[in-house]
Structure 1
Amino acid sequence: MNNFKILSVALFASVSVVNAQDINEVKKQIDAEQFQKAKTSLKSIINSNPSEGKAFFLLGNIYLNQSVIDSASITYNEGLKAKNEAHFNYIGLGQIDLEKKDVAAAKAKFESAKKEMRKKDFEEFIYIAKAYMDNSNPDYKAALAILELAKEKNAAEPQVLLALGDAFYGDKNQNEAFSAYRNAFQADNTLIRAKMQLGVLLKGAKAYKEAVAAYNEVIALSPNYGPVYRELAETYYYWALNVPGRYEEYMKEALSFYEKYMTLTDYSLVSRMRHADFLILAKDYKALEIEANKMKELDKVNPRILRYLGYAAFENGNIEEAISSLQEFINAPGNKVISLDYLYLGQAKIKKGTSADGTTIDPLLFEEATVLIKKAVELEKSIAADLGDIGKDLYGKKLYKEAATIFEIAVTDPESKNYLLDNFYLGTSIYFANGSLPEGQKADPIVLQKADTALGNLITGSPSTLDAYIYRARVNSLADKPAMMIQYYEEFIKVANGSGAEELAKSSTKAKLAEAYNTIAANSDKVKAKEYFTKTLEIDPTNKFATQSLQTLK
């Protein structure tokens, strides 16, 4: 019997060591973003030994990473029943609470996990910090506070230092992040991600050449470490945007490195989704459509696939498929809808509603599109900067009323890089929409005031823009405000005459000056009228209106 007991203890110890080794191998797979391989390994561990609570926890984390929250929740709750290290699963459930913005519930679950910690344990603190960082509403300050507790347990632990680097990076403290990543790698030179993150910091500082050099150092140490190729792809993408002359070259590099990343990780749904996200950034919509259809073969019910199908279908001209895919995605309960979903669906409805010759647009579809585009901007203010192309397309088709509606949404963000230009288009869209109304129909004074305000915003931001003054004068003419009309014509004349000989020599500027002089003259007393008609003839001796008006005034 004693021999049997000794054998049982030895066997149990042996199994525990094997499981620990297996778990450590899974952690390496997760770090290398080989999620499908990690899932398979974890399911095998759970099937062979359901007492391993950490296996449930890590599997739940992968489901959470995949946004399959129901599966994550089920896995964590099963993990709480495990004999060993079940308390880690409270951390996973806490992260789900953070996704739901229920911070109090999350903290309660984190406390439950902490109660089970032994004196020298620190790993729980790392995972709690990651829970604060790896969700839709990251709280890096909370993560840093938790990691201070981990430091108290083991300040030199490489994984603690790595997590600190991530928290400092998220909190935009680049110097502290650099120190933490550097110290983590110095403490453990097999911790490749810490070395890679030094390149990520350089990428964030737009030091793209230096970032690529840093990644090449990582590749020299570990040529099969997949995530470094993803970082290379993203670095070349941003480099391409910042050096327009090398755009094609760098985008080709970016897409090539992403393919390399895919071959070294796995072609699981998670990796394909990351690839799809990158293809959206790279605007490679043909490849996106191929990838989306491959994902559909892997998982016909995953809702995010509908997003990718919708984006790709719109960009590739398949408007009906774009609308059906995006509507199905947006309307399904539980889906995390982002601003681009609303923006793409809005654009698709505009495309569908526009006639083949581009001269008319279905008012109902356009109204639906407007609501969607407003929602997109409400979710993400910076989307306003992307609306100009939609508005300009309508403007070019002389659908001025609809263009004005889009530009009115665009100018709601004063921080937009296109704010001044969008104000110009808003003001002139309203002017053209109201400048050719049917006889007897008057322009809406409230709408014209919007045009006046938009052009005023442009003048404030760019006082030398001549067209801002001329159109503001024209808008006030439509609004039947002669005093304001004359004021802006006079301001136009002043700015134009101060703009230099090259500008004054342009035929377009001469024509606008003649318009200003003639209009002021027509609304002035005889003496001033003669003066301004004479000014017109100085720049345009053949101007019939000025010539005839002067003859009448003699």
Structure 2
Amino acid sequence: MKILKKAITLNVGLVLMGSAVFAQDLNDAKKAIDAEQYQKASSMLKSLVSSKASDGNNYYNLGLVYLKTGYIDSARAVFTKGITADPKNNLNLIGLGEADMLSNNPTSAKTNFDKAVALAPKDYKTYLYIGKAYLAQDKPSDDVSKPDFTNALANITKADELDAKDKDAEVFLAQGDAYALQKKNSEALGPYMRVNDIDPNNRRAKTQIGKMYKESRAFPEGEKELQDVIAADPNYGPAYRELGELYLQWSSFGTDKQKAAKAIENYKKYMDLTDKSLESQLRYAQFLFYAKDFPALEQVASTIQAPANDPKSAIVSRMKGWAAYENKNYPAALTSMNEFFSKEKDPNKILGFDYLYLGKAQLKAGQDSLALINITKAVEKDSTNADALAEVAKSFYDAKKYAKSSEVYEKAIKANPNGKGALYNYYYNAMANYFDYAAKLTAKQNPSKEILVKADSSIAKVTQLSPETYDAYLTRARINSLLDDEKDPKGLMIPFYEEYIKKITEKPELATANAKKLSEAYDTIGGYYFYKDKEKAKEYFNKSVAVYPSGTFAAAKLKELAAPAPAKGKGK
């Protein structure tokens, strides 16, 4: 078996010796493919196909370029021509099988793979390329095709067994990819390191190691690996992409501005060195979003061209809408977000941010009801969007639509009871209910006191969360004044007025600044005692006059208390 293998190797070597210049050209094209310079590779390979029309390797690699750039039908046509031009070369059969896999037709793929094996059952490259074809299904933008790791590893393992001398780094690179794509980084590390032992100039294995460090959040180690690749080959684009991704994650998606800037810088370098594919442009737009560079994002998004029938055109509309809203270009934001929703028909691909930005743009356009519907959906997707519900509630509050405002504030509180802005939500919910009750009372609509109970519950939460919010005690006292029985008041407001008085009078400067409010507290308590305990009533009225001499209520009541009692008539 070993002698046979050597003979086969020798024969292949003799064939290649006759086309050494061509082989070098093909290797250059392969390097361009690995560097994701697909336009350059395509141009080189088309020239090779034209000049060496009988060599199937050229067709195969050109077909791979088409597959990697999403042109499956073009790839099939090239592979088919390659089979006709070089029927003994099995690579184009493997190419057709890969196209079948990308078209979600594994049965046809297996047929083509079997034909390829029949042509060269002992050639390790047959199994290597079949294994890689099964791995090629890893397309993040494709929800149909998924890698077949079982068949991929079985074929790559077979290739490893047949390559007994372990001289082909590509075998170990494929092994590493098979594990890395499954997020089995520990298993992937060994094969990738073997690649570097065999071929120290291989850039992709070391780039993949840097990527795995990033995925393990070992950012300094990943940074070093990737910077080593760039130092060795400043024109190797994928290393810049992975370094950009590393810095973006290291920046906690934009919170560290310095690292976010490095992320953008490196990803832009990657795009400059490659073909600026639609996918890379969209990813760059996401980088700008995370870094909060919204002016640049709006400019970049406006230049991205996607065919109208391409599903990614919806993503372009999304990025335009997000950017326009953040740049306060609200009409454009609404237009772009409406475009997005008209294009994206799969609800599973709609993000919470999509509903959020549509709702917020509708809110700016005065479309409150539609805004509420979409922002509620955004919160259902992600509770951290609850602060946008508060924006809707505040818009209703400002428009004096207090009942609606309270309803929306309750949703915001339920979605995020202890999150950012919760204190304001409780406060304004209390005020909305309070004003709702007061307005209905004035309009003689006989409002339910349940409205006041809800108001009291919310303002009580404010005093619990923030005991130093002094006005909350005053508000709670006012609410309880309305809650009390008009005919037989129990003084429900007194404890809260007393608490307000206590907190305000602890600091003289506070008492001076809040003299009128203090007077209200003293007046209300004094008024409660006016018919129950005249001495207590005088005490509070005197305090009111002392803190706010220009007030009229306490002074008038003190005069009443000081006036002599009316004389009783005879016989009475």
What residue in structure 1 maps to residue 182 of structure 2?
167
1:41–1:56: structure 2 CA closer, same or farther, 3 Å change rule?
A: same
Determine whether 1:187 maps to 2:194: yes
What residue in structure 1 maps to residue 287 of structure 2?
278
CA distance, structure 2, for counterparts of residue 536 and residue 24 of structure 1: 99
8 Å Cα contact 2:294-2:327 kept in structure 1: yes
CA distance, structure 2, for counterparts of residue 446 and residue 46 of structure 1: 82
The structural deviation recorded for 1:338 is 3.1
Matches within 5 A, 1:72-471: 84-85=93-94, 86-94=96-104, 121=127, 131=137, 134=140, 157-168=172-183, 177=185, 179-180=186-187, 182-189=189-196, 190=202, 191-201=205-215, 204=217, 212=223, 215-233=226-244, 247=257, 252-296=261-305, 299=307, 303=313, 304-332=315-343, 334=345, 336-353=349-366, 365-385=367-387, 407-414=409-416, 417-418=419-420, 420-421=422-423, 423-424=425-426, 426-428=428-430, 430-431=432-433, 434=436, 437=439, 439-440=442-443, 454-455=458-459, 470-471=474-475
Alpha-carbon deviations, 1:62-97, whole Å to 9, x = none? 43xxxxxxx66x578879978611333343234xxx
Moved more, 457-466 or 302-311: 457-466
What residue in structure 2 maps to residue 357 of structure 1?
none
CA distance, structure 2, for counterparts of residue 520 and residue 407 of structure 1: 32
CA distance, structure 1, for counterparts of residue 69 and residue 469 of structure 2: 55
The alignment partner of 1:157 has SS state of helix
After TM superposition, the score normalised by the length of structure 1 is: 0.65
Identity of aligned pairs, percent? 26
CA distance, structure 1, for counterparts of residue 48 and residue 270 of structure 2: 27
8 Å Cα contact 1:80-1:87 kept in structure 2: no
8 Å Cα contact 1:472-1:488 kept in structure 2: yes
Moved more, 495-504 or 187-196: 495-504
CA distance, structure 1, for counterparts of residue 241 and residue 448 of structure 2: 54
Moved more, 54-63 or 373-382: 54-63
CA distance, structure 1, for counterparts of residue 144 and residue 467 of structure 2: 42
Alpha-carbon deviations, 1:36-58, whole Å to 9, x = none? 55676788899976997786577
After TM superposition, the score normalised by the length of structure 2 is: 0.63
The structural deviation recorded for 1:527 is 4.8
CA distance, structure 1, for counterparts of residue 194 and residue 427 of structure 2: 58
CA distance, structure 2, for counterparts of residue 519 and residue 256 of structure 1: 65
Alpha-carbon deviations, 1:439-475, whole Å to 9, x = none? 4165676766665555566567667765655545555
The alignment partner of 1:418 has SS state of coil
> How many corresponding residue pairs?
502
The alignment partner of 1:267 has SS state of coil
1:238–1:148: structure 2 CA closer, same or farther, 3 Å change rule?
A: closer
8 Å Cα contact 2:470-2:504 kept in structure 1: no
Matches within 5 A, 1:525-536: 526-527=532-533, 530=536, 534=540
Return the index of the structure with the highest Cα Rg: 2
8 Å Cα contact 2:449-2:483 kept in structure 1: yes
The alignment partner of 1:160 has SS state of helix
The structural deviation recorded for 1:265 is 2.4
Q: Which runs of 5+ in 2 are unaligned?
A: 1-10, 84-91, 162-170, 197-201, 563-572
The structural deviation recorded for 1:211 is 5.9
CA distance, structure 2, for counterparts of residue 10 and residue 293 of structure 1: 52
CA distance, structure 2, for counterparts of residue 376 and residue 448 of structure 1: 30
8 Å Cα contact 2:254-2:292 kept in structure 1: no
8 Å Cα contact 1:427-1:454 kept in structure 2: yes
1:275–1:16: structure 2 CA closer, same or farther, 3 Å change rule?
A: farther
CA distance, structure 2, for counterparts of residue 133 and residue 75 of structure 1: 18
The structural deviation recorded for 1:305 is 2.8
Q: 1:541 aligns with which of 547, 550, 570?
A: 547
Q: Which runs of 5+ in 1 are unaligned?
A: 1-8, 64-70, 95-105, 169-175, 354-364
The structural deviation recorded for 1:278 is 1.9
8 Å Cα contact 1:230-1:257 kept in structure 2: yes
CA distance, structure 2, for counterparts of residue 139 and residue 484 of structure 1: 73
What residue in structure 2 maps to residue 68 of structure 1?
none
The structural deviation recorded for 1:300 is 6.4
Alpha-carbon deviations, 1:130-159, whole Å to 9, x = none? 75783587999x988888868976699344
CA distance, structure 1, for counterparts of residue 411 and residue 214 of structure 2: 35
CA distance, structure 1, for counterparts of residue 116 and residue 498 of structure 2: 78
What residue in structure 2 maps to residue 3 of structure 1?
none
Alpha-carbon deviations, 1:383-422, whole Å to 9, x = none? 3355556766887898877765665554443387426245
Letter in 2 for 1:167: Q
The alignment partner of 2:265 has SS state of helix
The alignment partner of 1:87 has SS state of helix
CA distance, structure 2, for counterparts of residue 481 and residue 308 of structure 1: 57
CA distance, structure 2, for counterparts of residue 509 and residue 144 of structure 1: 73
Letter in 2 for 1:226: G
The structural deviation recorded for 1:263 is 1.5
The structural deviation recorded for 1:325 is 2.9
The structural deviation recorded for 1:306 is 2.6
